[in-house]
Amino acid sequence: MQHLWAPWRIEYIRQEPEKGCIFCNRFRRKTDRRDLVLYRGPRVMVMMNRFPYNCGHLLICPVEHTGDLTSLPAQAQSALFAMLQECVRILDETMAPEGFNLGMNLGRVAGAGVADHLHFHLVPRWNGDTNFMPALAEVKVVPEHLDRTYLKLKPAFARLGKVPARRKKAV
């Protein structure tokens, strides 16, 4: 038998289940580093996924607590999409991925872990970032510690709203 060493998982195993909505709780709290919150604005928040599919896996959600995409006000929709664009730009600049997966699961049966608060998943991808581990052992190896990724991304998100964003030209 082979062992996979992941000592940081003990924090998750021993923690009390969170009451209420994880996104609304993070909007209220001001413990951004502990909560892996990279950006909080008047209409949208960005945080890292504590259980990522890949390094730099982000969660982007509106401030408004709703699981109904069709009821999201136009201003919130616009802010959410603009933040998705900023997140792609920031990940491009800081992590240089070769592609992205972007998705939103609507409803429990669609795989939503938090069905009552809309949120996008943005996952950076690199050629060769998959290997035999998920297929054979049902294990995903994430090669960088969450704290290191947070420290890499936080300065870029801190600059949002202070400096006009530079857009990458289409090829």
Is 3 catalytic? The answer is: no
From the candidates 57, 65, 119, 145, give the one annotated as an active-site residue.
Answer: 119
Which residue shows structure tokens 């990279």?
38
Q: Rounded to whole angstroms, how far apart are CA atoms 125 and 116?
A: 27
Q: Give me the phi and psi of 11, to 5 degrees please.
A: -60, -45
- Exposure string of 26-63, with b = 16+ CB inside 10 Å and e = fewer, is beeeeebeebbbbbeeebbbbbbbeebbbbbbbbbbbb
Catalytic residues: 119
